[in-house]
Amino acid sequence: MTDPWEAVLVAPAGGSDIGVLVPAGSSGRIERERAHILAQQGMTALSIRWFGGSGQSPGICEIPLETFTTVVHFLQTNGAERIGVLGSSKGAEAALLTAVHDPRVDVVIALSPTSRVWCDVGPGRDGAQHPYRSSWTWRQQALPLIPLDDSWTPAEPGSGPVAIRGWYERSELAFALLLPPAEIALDQDRADILLVAGEDDAMWPSLPFAEQLAQRRRLDGASVRLIARHDGSHRPRLPGESAALASPQFLYGGTAEADAVLGVAAWPRILSMLRGGD
């Protein structure tokens, strides 16, 4: 691969006509383990570092969606006839938006998604974090965003990890007039959509977000599937993946057991949809 990505590309020995882009969330890591699991199922999987790397924005700030459509093109020109994007959290936001802007995407698997475009997480190329800017651009134009309400404080402030779900919920109320233009326009999306969310997500309200996405999708007469668990967190784990590590900064909710159960429940549908089944 000659493209200037820090990436992992994993493919079956005989190649595959299914290509899957696997963007991570705000950790910024490359999803090596997830890519390998997909390759074991007969798919070509590619995960890239899409921020925080050499020549990239240090934070999730005005990231060009062309970062992902370029990967779609790479997969397609290297034998993939069916293209999927499997992302979690901010990676799910990227996955949904990539499909909105690139009709070559056939299926989106969005784990712990949002239904709207949010502001930056961390600094942009200029090193500044404020004023808030969009997480994404398309054709050099920033997408409409919802900023965060900085008057919010954790329910139990202290030196340990915090749950920030309330920050997003407070910001939706504070910036209600900005919600409609920031909605992810699934009516412009021809891809099949699978949403996976836990009700006990402590990072942001991913199940209400997923339900909003599903309702919008159905109102447009398009199909969508939602798999959820009341005790699932922000980090569902797919079969074969290691348990998620604790964070010194954030609480994610749920339990490791519940996240594994949610991943097991979603896995057959994930594979079926990536392969073109119902």
The pLDDT of residue 2 is: 38
For residue 242, the one-letter residue type is S
Contact call for residues 166 and 156 (beta carbons, < 8 A)? no
pLDDT range class, residue 36, cuts 50, 70, 90: very high
CA distance 29 to 48: 8
For residue 29, the one-letter residue type is R
- Asked if the structure places residue 89 within a domain, the reply is yes
Q: What φ, ψ does residue 226 adopt, rounded to 5°?
A: -130, 125
- Asked if the structure places residue 104 within a domain, the reply is yes
- Asked if the structure places residue 145 within a domain, the reply is yes
The pLDDT of residue 189 is: 80
Q: Which residues pair with 83 in a beta bridge?
A: 19
- Asked if the structure places residue 2 within a domain, the reply is no
CA distance 71 to 50: 11
- Which residues touch 234 (CB under 8 Å, ≥6 apart)? 89, 112, 198, 201, 202, 203, 204, 206, 252, 253, 254
The pLDDT of residue 156 is: 73
- Asked if the structure places residue 1 within a domain, the reply is no
| Radius of gyration, CA atoms only, the chain | 18
pLDDT range class, residue 1, cuts 50, 70, 90: very low
Let me know how many helices (H) and strands (E) the chain has, helices first: 7, 10
| Across 108-122, 147-161, 227-241, 250-264, least confident range | 147-161
The number of folded domains in the chain is: 1
- Asked if the structure places residue 265 within a domain, the reply is yes
- Category of 258 on φ-ψ map: left (φ > 0), alpha (ψ -120 to 50) or beta: alpha
- Does 59 score more than 90 pLDDT? yes
- Asked if the structure places residue 75 within a domain, the reply is yes
CATH number where 74 lies: 3.40.50.1820
Domain that holds residue 227: 7-274
Q: What pTM was estimated for this model as a whole?
A: 0.96
**Mean pLDDT of the region 212-228:** 93
Which one-letter DSSP state was computed for residue 116?
A: B
Closest CA to 95 of 208, 7, 186: 186
